[in-house]
Structure formats: structure tokens, C-alpha cells
Amino acid sequence: MSKASNDIFSTLRTYISKVTEGERTPAEVAAAVNSWARESADALKAKIHEEVEASVAKMGFIKREEFDRLAAQVADLGGKKAPVKKAASKKSPAKKSPIKKSPIKKSAKVTAKKSAKKTVKK
């Protein structure tokens, strides 16, 4: 088991022993565990945010706010308005051209049979 899971179990054991010894009520223990869970979640979110920021910076990406600020500066230097954000447009699927079938040459034998049937029916 990892160290973090051992810490969780030892903390829970401590709280359970305090309840059984009468030092704390179950409601107090529940509130403490709930508070601890919230703090742990906040710490985990902050750590994830830091890691993502570091990874993105290593890849050379910039934040949208920074891009917009730089675009406005460039527009000011050029004397033009800053570009307006466009809504993402959906691309329509490419139209497929109909498949053209090449005519199949009929053998003389098949053509002769058809012409023979026509003469018989008349």
C-alpha cells in the first residue's frame, strides 16, 4: 500500500478510537473527516493545476488571455482593430462525387440472343 493510504487508515483508526473512548462524538468525527476530505481535495486540485501549467509551458503554449493581450498590442502597433473572436464553425462533410460506371461491352452472343427474342415476340 502507498504511504497516503496508510495515512488515511491511521487517521481513521485514531478517530474511531476517540469515538470508542468517548473523547469525541460521531458527529464531531464526521465533521473532522469531511473537513479533511475537502482540504485534501483542494490541495490535490492545486497540485494538478500546477502540473498542468508546467507541462503546458514546457510545450510552448500560452494562455488565451495572454494571446488576446498580445493580439491587441500587435493591432495597436499596426493601427488596426484587434481581431474579433469568431465562434467555432462546424465543417460540413466533403461532398462525394457520384461514382461513374463505365459501360460494359456486351458480347455479340448476348446481343444476338436479345435480337432473336425480339423478332420472335413480334
Closest-CA residue to 15 (of 25, 6, 5, 4): 25
Neighbours of 12 (CB within 10 A): 13
Q: What is the pTM of this model?
A: 0.44
pLDDT of residue 36: 86
Tens digits of residue pLDDT in 95-115: 555 566 555 555 555 555 565
- Positive or negative, the CA dihedral 24, 28, 30, 35 is negative
The residues spanned by each domain of the chain are: 1-85
Neighbours of 15 (CB within 10 A): 19
